[in-house]
Amino acid sequence: MTMYDIDNWLVSATRTLAAYITDAFDSELVTVEMSFPDTMNLLPLPKTLVHLEQDAMEHPVVGFGIPTAEVFDDVAGTVLPQDLAVHLVNFDVGVWASRESGGATHRMEVTQVLSSLFAPAAARQAFREATGMSVVSFNGGRNELDRLNDTPVWRALDMTLVVRVVSRNVPQVADIMVTDITQDQELTIINDSGGQSPVTS
């Protein structure tokens, strides 16, 4: 199973989601596409199509100040600050079924599977454990009989899946880490009486 990569958040989230949904279906019956289909070249449609099109994103501020974690490298003598960010990615979800792929019945069956993947609490926990991402919501959905070149296509549309991912911003240059303080054994301090007192360690 593809796991989410915190350092490549948008590409990784898209590919991980595609793999997770694809694994839930029989590849002989359903295909998954991470974009709105090209309706000019959609037919023939031997398999039911599930599309997910990235629709919108939000980047809410988390906590106070700048959420930063510092990673220390004792060997290199550096410290690397890593800024964390949260992203809410919205996907428009649709199902396209032809007479050959099962029509209205298969459209409903595929929609049921999508709902079972993202709606129940237990399913959301399973998704988080399998991918490293979180489901915020899975809502909407209506049916429509469309026609492409006078060919009927049974569609489920207006479904929205929102997933939450966390990313980190790592600077290209690390800061030098101060690991040792060297004392000057010859340093003296002049006291109030005018004399000199050696500094001892």
Q: Tokens in use for 154?
A: 């049974």
pLDDT at 108 (0 to 100): 98
CA distance 56 to 75: 43
| Block residue for tokens 């997910």 | 52
Q: Tokens in use for 130?
A: 């399998």
What is the Cβ-side half-sphere exposure of residue 199, based on CA atoms within 13 angstroms?
A: 8
pLDDT at 80 (0 to 100): 65
**Nearest partner of 9 among 133, 172, 104, 129, judged by Cα:** 133
CA distance 48 to 46: 7
Those residues of the chain that have pLDDT short of 70 are 1, 63-81, 170-201
**Nearest partner of 43 among 90, 111, 87, 96, judged by Cα:** 96
pLDDT at 110 (0 to 100): 98
Q: Number of helices (H) and strands (E), helices first, in the chain?
A: 3, 9
pLDDT at 83 (0 to 100): 79
pLDDT at 3 (0 to 100): 84
For residue 104, give the H/E element and its range: helix 103-118
pLDDT at 177 (0 to 100): 47
With b for 16 or more beta-carbon neighbours within 10 A and e for fewer, the 133-148 pattern comes to: bbbbebeebeeeeeee
pLDDT at 99 (0 to 100): 97
pLDDT at 21 (0 to 100): 98
pLDDT at 112 (0 to 100): 98
Q: Respond yes or no on whether the N-terminal peptide bond of residue 171 is cis (omega within 30° of 0).
A: no
pLDDT at 2 (0 to 100): 74
CA distance 171 to 111: 43
CA distance 45 to 193: 98
- Please say whether the beta carbons of 86 and 60 come within 8 A: yes
pTM surpassing 0.85? no
**Domains along the chain with CATH numbers:** 9-59+85-167 (3.30.2000.30)
